[in-house]
Structure 1
Amino acid sequence: MADTDPGSLDRLHDIAVPPPVSWWPLAPGWYVIAGVALVLLGVSVWAAVDRWRRNRYRRDALRELDLIEHRAQVSTAVIEMAELLKRTALAAFPRERVASLTGAAWLGFLDATGGTGAFTSGDGRLLGDAIYQRAEPGTAPDVPKLVAVVRHWITHHRC
């Protein structure tokens, strides 16, 4: 009679659990997400390579500036840095905008594109007319400060 008792615990059975859901094959939404992620990865790699190529002139200019700094011939360092700045500007900006600039206009251009005031009112003033004047005996330009100003412009100017 115990078998006919509906409240008996002997009649309980385990719950039938379905098999776990497989992660493969993926749902269609995951394929869309993977495709979008692949496209974004490709675009970001392309942009990074393009930016690296476009900034080659900066790396070359900084390498040459290091050579000028290590040579440390004060008499020619200012002239070499002025030439380096002009060549770097010609590589980055249209020739019509840069080639004819001299003196205060050139220094103003360097300040405007470099986001600084170091050329018109700072250590970079030496580059304005110093390349056209003879250095007076006993007056040596502060080359390390000038190198720092030039390095900052090469690194941070915006086209």
Structure 2
Amino acid sequence: MQAPLALRDIHQPPAPPWWPPAPGWWMLLLLLVLASLAWGWWSRRRRLRRARLAALFDETVAQAATPAEEVALLSELLRRAARTRDPGADRLQGDDWLAFLDGPGGKQQGPVFSTGAGRLLLEGGWRRNVEPSEVQALRPLARERFLRWMR
């Protein structure tokens, strides 16, 4: 009879090292890097577009020689931007046009075009004498609405 074999206890292999990570972690890291690069590109593109639109607005308004011309240019820019929201909006007239300008999507509180400084858009481009202070009150409202609609 042979002597019984001496059995040894089962030994576990050592735990895998933390470095280098498994291929799945490399893919996750690559995905995160690509996502952050795409977000940075999109954010930069959006910021540059907004800056170009603001420059277009400012340059166009700066071409006006008189306050009445400035009001006409503001109206033209707003009608151009309104087409991005509704293709027929640029053909609205009178109080319907001002109500459309007061529509949702602006930082303004209340109907600033229908009852406030925006009423100048109705006849300001046709009046002989327009007060520069009236145009100065209208310009930031029109600029904000233009930039918001063109984005």
Question: What TM-score do you get using the length of structure 2 for normalisation?
Answer: 0.65
- d(CA) in 2 for partners of 1:123 and 1:40? 44
Q: 1:102 to 1:155 in 2, by over 3 A?
A: same
Report SS of the residue matched to 1:152.
helix
Q: 1:112 to 1:127 in 2, by over 3 A?
A: same
Q: 1:69 to 1:154 in 2, by over 3 A?
A: same
Q: 1:150 aligns with which of 137, 142, 145?
A: 142
Gaps of 5+ in 1: 1-20
**Larger relative contact order (C-alpha < 8 A, sep ≥ 6)?**
2
- d(CA) in 1 for partners of 2:118 and 2:148? 15
Q: Between Structure 1 and Structure 2, which shows a larger proportion of helix residues? A: 1
What is the alpha-carbon root mean square deviation over aligned residues?
A: 3.2
- 1:129 maps to 2:116: no
Q: 1:84 aligns with which of 62, 77, 84?
A: 77
Question: What TM-score do you get using the length of structure 1 for normalisation?
Answer: 0.63
Q: Is the 8 A contact 2:98 2:119 kept in 1?
A: yes
Say how many residue pairs are matched.
Answer: 131
Superposed, 1:40-55 pairs within 5 Å as 40-45=35-40, 47-48=42-43, 51=46
- d(CA) in 2 for partners of 1:154 and 1:85? 6
User: Aligned partner of 1:93: which letter?
Assistant: R
Q: Is the 8 A contact 2:68 2:127 kept in 1?
A: no
1:62 maps to what in 2?
54
* Cα offset, 1:88, TM superposition: 2.2
Q: 2:87 aligns with which of 89, 95, 120?
A: 95
Computing the radius of gyration from Cα coordinates, the structure with the larger value is 1
